[in-house]
């Protein structure tokens, strides 16, 4: 079965970091969108949707975790996988991020190979589960 | 909605760590099963199943990752959420673990609060996705 390309939204205001993240996410295989602020991220989500969100915290218009909470409390993006990538690396900050709805929290500076492996792991989980629900739907149908 | 108790399997040969992890998993609320070896873990999974697996690597009968990749290739456990908890903390080891099927990889020594937050996050993801597949099934049906 051919895998569909993933739509990955990268929310990061530093262009250099954004490029590194984009190259880790395999732009050749997946569709990568980027945003530099929370407001832009919301616009992109509305327009293009996303299958995975990589989210910085210290953005010009607020803490990325605000967006994370908002998505978790809404309907449309409640189950969107969110990986927070932030310089705020204390245990208490990581715990806060995970509690507010992040599926993973990676501290900066990060290793590209680890980011890629974590992104792959999140995508695999979404795929596996949607595939198994697909199979269940088929079984239900027939 | 009351949350159902989860079946959590902890695979860890160090008793001190095992007790600590068990406390994190809230044994009053959840069904916590324990195993000290890969063989015991297999048996426990077969007999009692699990909703989440917390897996050490340096076990008496092998590397926990061997079990992890085995489960990923077993249809009944392919979607079981797995958190690897280990002293092997290099990027290379983390990438290996995530690529072999771990959903999360936390390095010892770890903060109890972070382990708790990561377990919660993993369970939330698994539960949200299975709920949304349930809704999709309903929509399909009617």
Q: What percent of chain A has pLDDT over 90?
A: 80
Cα separation, B9 vs A99, in Å, equals 22
Residues A9-65 pLDDT 10s: 999 999 999 999 999 987 678 999 999 999 999 999 999 999 999 999 999 999 999
Buried b (16+ CB within 10 A) or exposed e, B63-99: bbbebbeebbeeeebebbbbbbbbebeeeebbbbbbb
Per CB-CB distance under 8 Å, the chain A contacts of B116 are 95
Domain membership flag for residue B26? yes
Domain coverage including residue A122 = 7-140
Q: What percent of chain A has pLDDT over 70?
A: 87
Q: What are phi and psi of A11, to 5 degrees?
A: -110, 105
Number of domains in chain B: 1
pLDDT at A125: 87
Number of domains in chain A: 1
Beta strands in chain A, from DSSP E residues, in sequence order:
7-11, 31-35, 52-55, 58-59, 62-63, 82-86, 104-107
Low-confidence ranges of chain B (pLDDT < 70): 1-3, 131-142
pLDDT at A5: 86
Of A68, A53, A64, give the one whose Cα is nearest residue A100: A68
**Residue A43: partners with Cβ closer than 8 Å, 6 or more residues away:** A35
pLDDT at A31: 93
Chain B, window 4-63: residues with a beta carbon less than 8 angstroms from a chain A beta carbon: none
pLDDT at A131: 58
Pick the residue with more confidence: B41 or A1? B41
Question: Quick one: CA dihedral A103, A109, A115, A118, positive or negative?
Answer: negative
Domain membership flag for residue A16? yes
Do B129 and A121 lie within an 8 Å CB cutoff?
no
Whole-Å CA distances, B107 to A86, B34, B35, B81, B85: 18, 20, 20, 17, 6
Domain membership flag for residue B1? no
What CATH number is associated with residue A26?
3.40.50.2300
Chain A: give the shortest CA distance to residue B103, in Å. Answer: 6
Facing A79 at nearest CB: one of B92, B95, B132: B132
What CATH number is associated with residue B64?
3.40.50.2300
Average pLDDT, chain A: 90
Domain membership flag for residue B36? yes
pLDDT for A69 beyond 50: yes
User: Which tokens sit at A23?
Assistant: 């190259």
pLDDT for A137 beyond 50: no
Domain membership flag for residue B76? yes
Chain B: give the shortest CA distance to residue A128, in Å. Answer: 6
pLDDT at B27: 87
pLDDT at A38: 98
Domain membership flag for residue A132? yes
Facing B129 at nearest CB: one of A79, A99, A124: A79
Cα separation, B13 vs B35, in Å, equals 7
Domain membership flag for residue A63? yes
Domain membership flag for residue B128? yes
Domain membership flag for residue B2? no
Cα separation, B122 vs A57, in Å, equals 21
User: Which tokens sit at B60?
Assistant: 């008496």
Beta strands in A60-141, from DSSP E residues, in sequence order:
62-63, 82-86, 104-107
Q: Is the ipTM of this complex over 0.90?
A: no
Q: What are phi and psi of B129, to 5 degrees?
A: -70, -40
pLDDT at A142: 42
Domain coverage including residue B67 = 7-140
């Amino acid at each position: 079965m051919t895998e569909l390309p993933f739509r990955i939204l990268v929310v990061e205001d530093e262009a250099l970091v954004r490029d590194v993240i984009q190259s880790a996410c395999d732009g050749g295989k997946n569709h990568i969108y980027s945003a530099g602020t929370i407001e832009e991220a919301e616009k992109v989500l509305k327009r293009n949707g996303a299958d995975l969100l990589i989210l910085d915290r210290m953005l010009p218009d607020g803490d990325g975790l605000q967006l994370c909470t908002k998505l978790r409390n809404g309907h449309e993006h409640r189950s969107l996988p969110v990986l927070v990538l932030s310089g705020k690396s204390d245990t208490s900050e990581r715990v806060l991020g995970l509690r507010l709805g992040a599926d993973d929290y990676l501290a900066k500076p990060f290793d590209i190979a680890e980011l890629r492996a974590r992104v792959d792991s999140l995508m695999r989980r979404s795929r596996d589960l949607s595939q198994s629900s697909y199979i269940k739907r088929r079984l239900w149908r027939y | 909605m009351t949350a159902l108790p989860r079946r959590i399997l902890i695979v860890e040969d160090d008793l001190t760590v095992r007790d600590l992890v068990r406390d994190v998993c809230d044994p009053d609320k959840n069904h916590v099963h324990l195993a000290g070896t890969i063989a015991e873990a297999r048996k426990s999974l077969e007999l009692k199943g699990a909703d989440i697996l917390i897996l050490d690597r340096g076990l008496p009968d092998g590397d926990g990752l061997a079990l992890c990749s085995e489960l990923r290739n077993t249809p009944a456990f392919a979607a079981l959420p797995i958190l690897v908890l280990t002293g092997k903390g290099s990027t290379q080891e983390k990438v290996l673990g995530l690529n072999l099927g771990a959903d999360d990889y936390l390095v010892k020594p770890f903060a109890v609060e972070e382990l708790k937050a990561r377990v919660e996050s993993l369970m939330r993801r698994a539960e949200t996705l299975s709920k949304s597949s349930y809704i999709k099934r309903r929509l399909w049906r009617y």
